[in-house]
A and B are shown apart, each in its own frame.
Chain A
């Protein structure tokens, strides 16, 4: 594969002359920061997107115009967001698009089940083939995805961030299976930015930065520090200047919070914790262990829970969201596009959504004043663009800065920041991290929800770890634990007696 260049209509060059070459029978990592163009180059290779440039397979130039062509050439891809039809049972997903039928297009269920079973056995992926994929665990759904690719006769597998949603144990299992595939002569390309996994699994690595390939290296000879330097282009500032933590009064108290989940199990199981002024409290944990439900409860978005949530001593249950927000509880939501902003409105309209009503006379909004204020905020947060630009025109990082500006400038008492830097560029991450620390230094309370361990370690003063809806550990001295230990807590392998540090 040589020189894939993809020019986006918007003018953003995602893959500005990137080239990649992969050897048969190896596990090849494509690494880079968010937005470096990893996913794009893979989509081009898989025919899901078109680009200028050339692709060679086994020395022969190929035009890969669609996933179908890619499939025919033996290339298969497992997307980060699974491409499964949830309502279909596993076997139907595996053979989706290549179903066995008779002459009249009637499905041959028995044949497909037999074939699927054989595939499962060969590649050591035991799953229930009749179970609808919507009911499966993430790791089983991923297996279905891999089987789906194998059933198509692919010998080159592309996996986009396959471990992002897996526990370390499941990751281990996945790696075993991938190595098995390699032994059977398959070529595996995995997109990742997790250095440890690259070291553990891969033979070679191609590093991408800002849409270009930086180079391809033998994993055995390149160090983690080297890889990270090449990915970012500069050494990442791991430390952030922070004043010593002076935790003050309790701002938010959660007592015996329980939220019903799917089926019998509780999504949140009698959780209690407190957030104090001048402290960044981090809710760590693998995604889907109850953090989202806790956030919905403490921000007042949902009242479907038992237990108490007290904000400055008063319960917030059944209070209007507006009232809660007016009391100074601000929320940077997890899903930027769905919850955090209105992409179809202007930047200005997005910046004023919390207090447009306070700034209106007889129902008429004082746009003059709010325009001036919005401009000021855009300048302070270095948002590129003009007031009346549509939010949708902004990059992820700029969009997030608009959201952060709106929330943090709204006189917060408590900031609930849910994955505040996911999918944004390094510059924006720096800015947002600094801002959160600044807020905390001003003596305000911050609750950070993050799945990114480096972020957790960088920012938090205190960590509570969630596993299966319970708090499995509370770490008051962040320097006392390392990533491995925290990982064990996150997986529920170890629990810590909750020590309520009242003092």
Chain B
């Protein structure tokens, strides 16, 4: 018996050892360690920045770090905060895999939320079906995708840099929505708001007490579906190939101009979808006066997730944790939650740094090939 166990133990050790000796495994382990180290470092940066900002408030750091886990409600805040991040993060992943840097995720999210909020009261007259939120969100998705088509087509047809054009689109969309909100479709009683949403127009709660909407499940599902789309389907394959080497893709017969367009269409649509889900899940009416900045956040998420949608939920939860920490902190102390943007900037640079990548991967990959 003892010997049997020993033998089993030995074989177990052996398989584990070979598993760890395999190159791929080693890479994954390295990558994980490196990622964790960078997360820790960014957390450290956050602590330092906050400590500096709150010299007269010694408790701020503690509030920042622990308040998100205070009770069920704050934990649910983290989950809620992560919803828009997951949507825009997945959207950015898809587009940057195709080599497209379309900032319309920002505008798309905004439009998706607006359209859903405007449509809901209209549809509610007469029906009270569960179809109302579905249709509203669908409309938001379509509207965002349609607008996202503009920078996409400008890129594929005329070669106009999608980054600048989509930024301009964002500002245009912002002001047009504000116009519509105040002059056409808003609640005439107040400025800058739509009518209140009926209860059945809203998405069901997962936990009513903690105000956690079912949008969270959808957001996770979207990230998983994006991963499947990217790595299992032919369209995903086309996106990856086009993003990596467009010339090779078109030589292989892939119509890359189409890929450029549909990757951005899907991305913008996802952003709009996210906007709709977030609004119908977590708000009572649409009252945004500025762009919510979730588009740029999407870039932070995508970079942390290394453009892999499957990692998007994790990255989103981490960022959401920082956010909630910062919000709680600005509630209890004098430090403003905007400091979190400083941390986000640092995170992007850290995760994007090839320098650090080279350090940990060390000398595995030679930069040069002999001629």
Q: Do A and B come from one complex?
A: yes
Instruction: Give the interface of A toward B (CB within 8 A).
Output: 8-12, 14, 34-35, 37, 39-40, 49, 80, 301, 320-322, 324-326, 331, 333, 338-345, 349, 352-354, 356-357, 360, 363-365, 367, 388, 392-393, 395-396, 423
Compute how far the CA of A353 lies from the CA of B254 in the bound complex, rounded to whole angstroms.
Answer: 9
B62 within 8 Å of A (CB atoms) = no
Q: Distance in Å from the Cβ of B286 to the closest Cβ of chain A?
A: 35
Compute how far the CA of A33 lies from the CA of B16 in the bound complex, rounded to whole angstroms.
Answer: 44
Question: Which of B48-56, B243-251, B339-347 forms part of the interface with chain A?
Answer: B243-251
Q: Distance in Å from the Cβ of A414 to the closest Cβ of chain B?
A: 15
Assess A40 versus B237: contact at CB under 8 Å? Given A342-B244, A342-B245, A342-B249. Answer: no
Compute how far the CA of A342 lies from the CA of B241 in the bound complex, rounded to whole angstroms.
Answer: 7
B202 within 8 Å of A (CB atoms) = no
Q: Are A357 and B251 in contact (CB under 8 A)?
A: no
Instruction: Give the interface of B toward A (CB within 8 A).
Output: 24, 232-235, 237, 240-241, 244-245, 247-255, 363-371
Compute how far the CA of A503 lies from the CA of B65 in the bound complex, rounded to whole angstroms.
Answer: 87
Q: Distance in Å from the Cβ of B9 to the closest Cβ of chain A?
A: 30
Q: Distance in Å from the Cβ of B229 to the closest Cβ of chain A?
A: 9
Q: Distance in Å from the Cβ of B368 to the closest Cβ of chain A?
A: 6
Residue on B with the closest CB to A390? B365
Compute how far the CA of A393 lies from the CA of B364 in the bound complex, rounded to whole angstroms.
Answer: 10
Q: Distance in Å from the Cβ of B98 to the closest Cβ of chain A?
A: 13
Question: Can you add 5 more A-B contacts, CB < 8 Å, to A363-B234, A396-B369?
Answer: A8-B370, A11-B366, A301-B250, A345-B241, A365-B234
Q: Distance in Å from the Cβ of B309 to the closest Cβ of chain A?
A: 16
A-B contact pairs, 7 of them (CB 8 A): A12-B366, A49-B368, A325-B252, A326-B253, A338-B248, A363-B235, A388-B24
Q: Are B252 and A353 in contact (CB under 8 A)?
A: yes
Q: Are B233 and A360 in contact (CB under 8 A)?
A: yes
- Report which of B234, B237, B245, B254 forms a contact with A343, defined as CB distance below 8 A: B245
Compute how far the CA of A39 lies from the CA of B370 in the bound complex, rounded to whole angstroms.
Answer: 8
Ranked 10 nearest A-B pairs via Cβ: A10-B366, A322-B253, A9-B363, A353-B252, A342-B245, A344-B244, A9-B366, A14-B370, A321-B253, A39-B371
Residue on A with the closest CB to B246? A342
Q: Distance in Å from the Cβ of B125 to the closest Cβ of chain A?
A: 39
For B255, the chain A residues whose CB sits under 8 A away are 320, 322
- Report which of B24, B232, B253, B365 forms a contact with A325, defined as CB distance below 8 A: B253
Highest count of chain A CB atoms <10 Å: which of B249, B253, B370: B370
For A37, the chain B residues whose CB sits under 8 A away are 370
Assess A301 versus B241: contact at CB under 8 Å? Given A10-B366, A363-B235, A364-B233. Answer: no
The dominant DSSP class at the A interface is: loop
Compute how far the CA of A8 lies from the CA of B364 in the bound complex, rounded to whole angstroms.
Answer: 10
For A12, the chain B residues whose CB sits under 8 A away are 366, 369-370
Highest count of chain A CB atoms <10 Å: which of B241, B364, B369: B369
Assess A345 versus B240: contact at CB under 8 Å? Given A322-B253, A325-B253, A338-B248. Answer: yes
Q: Are A340 and B237 in contact (CB under 8 A)?
A: no
Residue on B with the closest CB to A15? B370
Q: Are A339 and B248 in contact (CB under 8 A)?
A: yes
Q: Distance in Å from the Cβ of B163 to the closest Cβ of chain A?
A: 21
For B245, the chain A residues whose CB sits under 8 A away are 338, 341-344
Compute how far the CA of A322 lies from the CA of B235 in the bound complex, rounded to whole angstroms.
Answer: 15
Q: Are B248 and A341 in contact (CB under 8 A)?
A: yes
For A333, the chain B residues whose CB sits under 8 A away are 251
For A357, the chain B residues whose CB sits under 8 A away are 234
- Report which of A10, A339, A354 forms a contact with B253, defined as CB distance below 8 A: A354
Compute how far the CA of A193 lies from the CA of B233 in the bound complex, rounded to whole angstroms.
Answer: 47
- Report which of B237, B368, B371 forms a contact with A356, defined as CB distance below 8 A: B237
Q: Distance in Å from the Cβ of A192 to the closest Cβ of chain B?
A: 13
Compute how far the CA of A80 lies from the CA of B367 in the bound complex, rounded to whole angstroms.
Answer: 19
Q: Are B248 and A342 in contact (CB under 8 A)?
A: yes
Q: Distance in Å from the Cβ of B242 to the closest Cβ of chain A?
A: 9
For B241, the chain A residues whose CB sits under 8 A away are 342, 345, 349, 353
Q: Distance in Å from the Cβ of B174 to the closest Cβ of chain A?
A: 35
Q: Are A301 and B251 in contact (CB under 8 A)?
A: yes
Q: Are A356 and B234 in contact (CB under 8 A)?
A: yes
Q: Are A8 and B368 in contact (CB under 8 A)?
A: yes
Q: Are B251 and A395 in contact (CB under 8 A)?
A: no
Q: Are B248 and A360 in contact (CB under 8 A)?
A: no
- Report which of A40, A331, A339 forms a contact with B371, defined as CB distance below 8 A: A40
Residue on B with the closest CB to A363? B233
Compute how far the CA of A11 lies from the CA of B362 in the bound complex, rounded to whole angstroms.
Answer: 12
- Report which of A321, A360, A364, A388 forms a contact with B250, defined as CB distance below 8 A: A321
Residue on B with the closest CB to A403? B248
Q: Are B232 and A340 in contact (CB under 8 A)?
A: no
Q: Distance in Å from the Cβ of B235 to the closest Cβ of chain A?
A: 6
Q: Distance in Å from the Cβ of B31 to the closest Cβ of chain A?
A: 14
Q: Distance in Å from the Cβ of A478 to the closest Cβ of chain B?
A: 30
Q: Are A395 and B369 in contact (CB under 8 A)?
A: yes
For A339, the chain B residues whose CB sits under 8 A away are 247-248, 251
Q: Distance in Å from the Cβ of A40 to the closest Cβ of chain B?
A: 6
For A341, the chain B residues whose CB sits under 8 A away are 245, 248
Assess A367 versus B232: contact at CB under 8 Å? Given A10-B365, A343-B245, A395-B369. Answer: yes
For A8, the chain B residues whose CB sits under 8 A away are 366, 368, 370
Compute how far the CA of A344 lies from the CA of B368 in the bound complex, rounded to whole angstroms.
Answer: 15
For A9, the chain B residues whose CB sits under 8 A away are 363-367
Q: Are A320 and B253 in contact (CB under 8 A)?
A: yes
- Report which of A325, A343, A349, A423 forms a contact with B240, defined as CB distance below 8 A: A349
Q: Distance in Å from the Cβ of A430 to the closest Cβ of chain B?
A: 20
For B363, the chain A residues whose CB sits under 8 A away are 9-10
For A331, the chain B residues whose CB sits under 8 A away are 251
Residue on A with the closest CB to B241? A342
For B234, the chain A residues whose CB sits under 8 A away are 356-357, 360, 363-365
Compute how far the CA of A322 lies from the CA of B241 in the bound complex, rounded to whole angstroms.
Answer: 15
For A49, the chain B residues whose CB sits under 8 A away are 368
Compute how far the CA of A360 lies from the CA of B234 in the bound complex, rounded to whole angstroms.
Answer: 7
For A344, the chain B residues whose CB sits under 8 A away are 244-245
Residue on B with the closest CB to A344? B244
For A396, the chain B residues whose CB sits under 8 A away are 369
Q: Distance in Å from the Cβ of A14 to the closest Cβ of chain B?
A: 4
Compute how far the CA of A295 lies from the CA of B288 in the bound complex, rounded to whole angstroms.
Answer: 56
Q: Are B237 and A365 in contact (CB under 8 A)?
A: yes
For A363, the chain B residues whose CB sits under 8 A away are 233-235
Compute how far the CA of A12 lies from the CA of B365 in the bound complex, rounded to whole angstroms.
Answer: 10
Q: Distance in Å from the Cβ of B4 to the closest Cβ of chain A?
A: 35
Compute how far the CA of A322 lies from the CA of B232 in the bound complex, rounded to whole angstroms.
Answer: 21
- Report which of B24, B240, B367, B370 forms a contact with A35, defined as CB distance below 8 A: B370
For B369, the chain A residues whose CB sits under 8 A away are 10, 12, 395-396
Q: Distance in Å from the Cβ of A30 to the closest Cβ of chain B?
A: 13
Q: Are B247 and A338 in contact (CB under 8 A)?
A: yes
For A354, the chain B residues whose CB sits under 8 A away are 252-253
